[in-house]
Structure 1
Amino acid sequence: MDSVDFQEAEVPAVVVGDPPKNHWRDVHILSFAFLLIFLAYGAAQNLESTVNTDQDLGTTSVGILYLSFTLFSLVASPMVRLLGSKRALVLGTTGYWLFIASNLKPSWYTMVPASVFLGFAASIIWVGQGTYLTSAARSHAKDSHLHEGTVIGNFNGEFWGILATTQVIGNLISLALLRNGKEGGSLRGKTLLFSVFLGSMTLGTILMCFLHKRDGKREDRPAPSANILSSIISLLKLAIAPLRDKRMQLIIPFLAYSGLQQAFVWAEFTKYIVSPALGVSGVGAAMALYGASGAICSLAAGRFTSGLSSITLIISGGAFLQILVLIWLFLKDSLKTGVLHTVYPLLMAMIWGMGDGVFNTLLNAALGILFRHDTEAVFSQLKVWQSASTAVVFFLSPHITFQAMLILMISALCVSVAGFLFLTLQVEKTFSSGN
């Protein structure tokens, strides 16, 4: 029995409606809708630094995007409570659609406003995703009389496994449509590429509309009040309430690191490791391997999850893999000749993707298992810390050396693992004393 089983007797954070729902069906729909949306956005983000180079428009836009994402994540929880998770998911897709559309006519007047709005849209779509998936898992566990931790792990494993394939599909599409161009492809190739991406996002938005609604009455939702300001303040208090929980305080370093390690791949690894060894065309191959290994590990991690103890063991394995890559990068100067010079960036991308797949799946599963109340607020905190750390990398990258970034990454990973291990011990201690 896992250490958090004692929490299963508590009242679920989301009460589903009376009509029966096919919970696995909703997970499939949610996963493939995100696949269609993020195969376009992920590939577009990878290309921003090469297709929009005028005055660093692409890189600056992405930095603004994640800064906006961080700020709006602070209020995403009350927004999702008011909208409901399904409406938040559908509304959130509009920001991604607008951002891709702005790339058809890239300028400071189109991309910067689109980036700011995407920060808002991303905050509610990701809080909505975490809330919706956790609600579906809890409902399925209850209806089928299954262990809740196992179901949460399985649902997150499928979602993050399918989402990780966006790096493979999106980069292959980019490679196919831009293969004849230089520095991001010809104007015709870019127009065709972003038009295809818009079509993919439109299909993803339509698919999202077929989700069942999963928001019922909430005991912790503030009652309607004539004083709108009081209602907003009450909702904001609920949004920051998780910060007072010691468990959240201990897991925050890992939430931040999960954003750091993704931004490190996008902003640093491809620039300093992949491009010098394989050229710009090799970035697509490396990111495809990164996505493929992440997809496999996400699915596997979800299947082996049964509770906090198993999560801790698998996350430690993912951290070990990324530590190996970071140490390997310190030794890269001695690996500049021979076949290894071509192969090792691809191997690093694959190993790093394995760790990324583990973190994406199991951090979301851990939050779903540990925090049964205030689900929106908990996943809002996840995105606050992830997006803030991602923005830090994009803004810090031009001003520090690659070696300094490696030191930052190693330090952050060590602190994160230590905090998570201590969290596990604290929960185990609470469970033991409760018996």
Structure 2
Amino acid sequence: MADMNQVNNGSENTSYIMDESDVRGKPQNHDAPRENTHTEQFSIPMTKRRIIKNLIVISFGFLFLFTTFQALANLQSTLNSEDGIGVASQSIIYGALIVSSLFLPAIVIKKLGCKRTMVLAMLCYTPYIAANFYPHWGTLIPSALILGLGAAPLWSAKCTYLNEIGFRYTEMVNETEDTIIVRFFGIFFMFFQSTQIWGNLISYFVLRPENEIMYLVNDSDASLSFCGSNFCNQVQSPNLVRPEDTKVYMLIGIYLASAIFGAILLELFLDPLKREFVEFDKKLTGVRLLLATLKHLKNPCQIVIIPLTIYSGLEQAFFLSEYTKAYIACSWGIHRIGFVLICFGVVNAVVSLLSGPLVKLVSRLPIFITAALANLGITITFLYWEPNSSQTAVLLALAGIWGFSDAVWQTQINAFYGIIFKKNEEAAFSNYRLWESIGFSMAFAYSNYLCVDVKIYILIGFLVLGIIGYLAIEFFKKRHSKGMFWLYLD
């Protein structure tokens, strides 16, 4: 926990956050008394209200940034479909994220502090957004690389900051650390998951043609027979025609302004967080983390959970690139992608918020099985269902069910890693980021070369293998005593 002063000021507890630059690289002695003059000279009084303010500022900053990025990612396979450059750029993002996760977060946060890391990392997203004004291999690919490198420090700094203010808040109230940390992250992800709603609303209203009735392709049109699982990238459908440039430029302009505003919001209103940066020297980074990640693969439980971790990336990429293009855009028009995905965003946000209480109520196993059956049912439906514009309720329902399953995978696989590998968390979560990113990169890399039915079979294969692996771990855990289980995982 970060170094902190507390004073009793009548009825209210107060802690202090010092500027990060004042302690950068300076080891702190917890046992030595601090001089009050130093604290009064450099510190900012940190009340409970100020901590909540910082939580809200971070949440809104990420909301403005990812309202842009999430919605733009949803459109890459359709707006930038020429030569498959849109999905190729997405593959580059997650490939760069793998490298970034291993080498950059601890180093960047140690040098810049959490606040400056978040602000600068958010600005790494803006070149990619701006590149969509002129989508070309020379613009999208380099900017995607920059975004991928900045993403890992952004999320690491966010997690560090929320943990620290959560610990500080715990000392002011009569509640446990676990309760406060879970509550803070729950509030943050409620904002974050809602970005699918706002970003897709913007894309729907901006890209919507003036006369939607004339825009619709007749359901008997032969081109619709190639939508759904029959879709291959050479298919030409009137519904897949890119909207006029003026509408696209307006959309990208709104998104770029939103992302920049998110960074400005953090720069102006987020309090810098004093951290003991010497803690980062104890963390595994670079080659040490890479070696620890590879060494962790000797753990049998890590090996059997890999297919489910890869599936977590595959299913997100499939939904972003294939469902949006082959099902929504092909049968109903590019401009309606945002409209359908609002349903996905609403369900995803609600289930993410409720996943913790649900697991506490019914245990983890039924939640995993329900999500797996839901995803399996949808993917089989994708194989045989031929979408058309008269089946809008089906498009919305499938997006909502996928949102439920996705929320379970994103919250529970992460938590599952923390539970089964709690004695080796750094290497375990490095494996989590590695294999999930590989899933993303795989799906976006082969998106331009395989037909949708083949991608669905790949998806089903990884889901079945993943659930078998998960059940094997649960079975092993129950067959052995708790002590023996944790000993075996070491």
- What are the Cα deviations for residues 135-160 of structure 1, in whole angstroms up to 9, with x where unaligned? 55566667656566555544443333
Partner of 2:35 in structure 1? none
- Given the alignment of the two structures, is residue 52 of structure 1 paired with residue 116 of structure 2, yes or no? no
Give the CA deviation at 1:123.
Answer: 2.5
Give the CA deviation at 1:325.
Answer: 1.1
Counting only pairs closer than 5 Å after superposition, residues 387-406 of structure 1 correspond to structure 2 as 387-406=437-456
- What are the Cα deviations for residues 296-333 of structure 1, in whole angstroms up to 9, with x where unaligned? 111111344559x8344433332222122123223315
Equivalent residue for 1:356, pick from 387, 399, 406:
406
Partner of 2:141 in structure 1? 112
Distance 1:247 1:74 in 2: 21
2:134 alignment partner AA: K
Counting only pairs closer than 5 Å after superposition, residues 88-127 of structure 1 correspond to structure 2 as 88-127=117-156
Structure 1 range deviating more: 236-245 or 166-175: 236-245
Distance 2:418 2:161 in 1: 11
Give the CA deviation at 1:28.
Answer: 3.1
Partner of 1:206 in structure 2? 264
**Contact 1:156–1:365, Cα closer than 8 Å, also in 2:** no
2:363 alignment partner AA: S
Partner of 1:322 in structure 2? 375
Give the CA deviation at 1:389.
Answer: 0.8
**Contact 1:172–1:288, Cα closer than 8 Å, also in 2:** yes
Equivalent residue for 2:3, pick from 3, 17, 25:
17
2:345 alignment partner AA: G
**Contact 1:239–1:377, Cα closer than 8 Å, also in 2:** yes
**Contact 1:32–1:204, Cα closer than 8 Å, also in 2:** yes
User: Which sections of structure 1, spanning at least 5 residues, go unmatched?
Assistant: 1-14, 224-229
Give the CA deviation at 1:96.
Answer: 0.7
Kindly tell me: are residues 112 and 219 of structure 1, through their superposed partners in 2, closer, same or farther at Cα, counting changes over 3 Å? closer
* Structure exhibiting the larger radius of gyration computed from Cα positions: 2
Q: Look up the SS of the partner of 1:399 in the other structure.
A: coil
Counting only pairs closer than 5 Å after superposition, residues 30-429 of structure 1 correspond to structure 2 as 30-79=58-107, 82-83=110-111, 84-134=113-163, 144=173, 146=175, 151-180=180-209, 183-209=241-267, 210=270, 213=273, 215-216=275-276, 221-222=281-282, 233-234=287-288, 236-237=290-291, 242-243=296-297, 247-306=301-360, 310-333=363-386, 341-368=391-418, 378-426=428-476, 429=480
**Contact 1:131–1:375, Cα closer than 8 Å, also in 2:** no
Kindly tell me: are residues 235 and 33 of structure 1, through their superposed partners in 2, closer, same or farther at Cα, counting changes over 3 Å? same
Identity of paired residues, percent?
27
**Contact 2:87–2:447, Cα closer than 8 Å, also in 1:** no
Kindly tell me: are residues 138 and 406 of structure 1, through their superposed partners in 2, closer, same or farther at Cα, counting changes over 3 Å? farther
2:124 alignment partner AA: G
Partner of 1:3 in structure 2? none
- The higher relative CO (CA closer than 8 Å, separation ≥ 6) is in 1
Give the CA deviation at 1:165.
Answer: 1.5
Kindly tell me: are residues 411 and 106 of structure 1, through their superposed partners in 2, closer, same or farther at Cα, counting changes over 3 Å? closer
Q: Look up the SS of the partner of 1:398 in the other structure.
A: coil
Distance 1:94 1:66 in 2: 17
Kindly tell me: are residues 332 and 234 of structure 1, through their superposed partners in 2, closer, same or farther at Cα, counting changes over 3 Å? closer
Partner of 1:29 in structure 2? 57
Q: Look up the SS of the partner of 2:128 in the other structure.
A: helix
Structure 1 range deviating more: 316-325 or 425-434: 425-434
**Contact 1:137–1:148, Cα closer than 8 Å, also in 2:** yes
Kindly tell me: are residues 348 and 39 of structure 1, through their superposed partners in 2, closer, same or farther at Cα, counting changes over 3 Å? same
More helix per residue:
1
Kindly tell me: are residues 296 and 25 of structure 1, through their superposed partners in 2, closer, same or farther at Cα, counting changes over 3 Å? same
Please, what TM-score do these two structures have when normalized by structure 1?
Answer: 0.80
Give the CA deviation at 1:191.
Answer: 2.4
Kindly tell me: are residues 245 and 168 of structure 1, through their superposed partners in 2, closer, same or farther at Cα, counting changes over 3 Å? same
Structure 1 range deviating more: 38-47 or 61-70: 61-70
**Contact 1:92–1:121, Cα closer than 8 Å, also in 2:** yes
Q: Look up the SS of the partner of 1:349 in the other structure.
A: helix
Distance 1:253 1:76 in 2: 26
Kindly tell me: are residues 319 and 195 of structure 1, through their superposed partners in 2, closer, same or farther at Cα, counting changes over 3 Å? same
**Contact 2:77–2:325, Cα closer than 8 Å, also in 1:** no
**Contact 2:87–2:445, Cα closer than 8 Å, also in 1:** no
Kindly tell me: are residues 188 and 377 of structure 1, through their superposed partners in 2, closer, same or farther at Cα, counting changes over 3 Å? farther
2:69 alignment partner AA: Y
- Given the alignment of the two structures, is residue 431 of structure 1 paired with residue 417 of structure 2, yes or no? no
Q: Look up the SS of the partner of 2:317 in the other structure.
A: helix
Give the CA deviation at 1:105.
Answer: 3.3
Structure 1 range deviating more: 69-78 or 409-418: 69-78
Partner of 2:220 in structure 1? none
